[in-house]
Chain A
Amino acid sequence: TQLLEQSPQFLSIQEGENLTVYCNSSSVFSSLQWYRQEPGEGPVLLVTVVTGGEVKKLKRLTFQFGDARKDSSLHITAAQPGDTGLYLCAGFRGGGNKLTFGTGTQLKVEL
């Protein structure tokens, strides 16, 4: 059973378009993180959200943690080819020594 489901699984858009990636669960997480991964490399942390309802912005990326701390979203404004990659949400539960990853969203931004 996958605790964190991401949608969509694949997304191919044109440069300049906006997009939203969703990360949903039936479980409550003490914190949730978003990572971006490029081929042949390990994931790199983008942001951590801790408080229910929290919104964080990182340039053109906006992250939101659901009020009940069960879901999160990532919105990218005016996507660029450099945004291409695999986006992964991940959450800590309970004691915080196990990070569970979502199913991943593969984003491709074309010129």
Chain B
Amino acid sequence: SQTIHQWPATLVQPVGSPLSLECTVEGTSNPNLYWYRQAAGRGLQLLFYSVGIGQISSEVPQNLSASRPQDRQFILSSKKLLLSDSGFYLCAWSRDNNSPLHFGNGTRLTVT
């Protein structure tokens, strides 16, 4: 069966510090991978998605970047965090286009 791992679960970082959130998927090959951000009790905003190694599409201009160095690894990064980067970050995978997404348990990021 397929599993998705996302870490850390919570993170408190000072303004101006770098960020690296990692997500890995097991049990499937060449998945579509996604990073979303969610405000409290609200819908999810798509940040990045990837349909293959090295292929990254950015949905909104922001202080963040994403990379996919391996088939089942997706990394969300920032060189210098802003207060506005605080939020709940969710990684997800899908088997292919138009397939349901399977989410990790998220990372709660607080920038102080």
Which of A's residues lie within 8 Å of B, judged by CB?
2, 4, 6, 30-31, 33, 40-45, 48, 86, 88, 90, 92, 95-104, 106
Contacts and interface: CB of A to CB of B under 8 A. Distances in A.
Nearest to A47: B100
A101 B43 contact: yes
Interface size bracket, B side: 20 to 34
Q: Which 9 A-B pairs have the closest CB atoms?
A: A42-B103, A96-B98, A96-B97, A101-B44, A101-B43, A45-B100, A104-B43, A103-B43, A97-B97
A4 B42 CA distance: 12
Interface of B: 32, 34, 36, 41-46, 49, 51, 57, 59, 90, 92, 94, 97-98, 100-106, 108
A101 B49 CA distance: 14
A41 B98 contact: no
Given A43-B44, A101-B43, A106-B41, A48 B100 contact: yes
24 contacts: A30-B98, A31-B98, A33-B100, A40-B105, A40-B108, A41-B103, A42-B103, A43-B103, A44-B103, A45-B100, A45-B102, A88-B43, A90-B101, A92-B97, A92-B98, A96-B98, A97-B49, A99-B34, A99-B94, A101-B43, A101-B44, A101-B46, A103-B43, A104-B43
A97 B42 contact: no
Nearest to B36: A101
Given A41-B105, A41-B106, A42-B104, A98 B98 contact: no
Given A33-B100, A40-B105, A40-B106, A99 B46 contact: yes
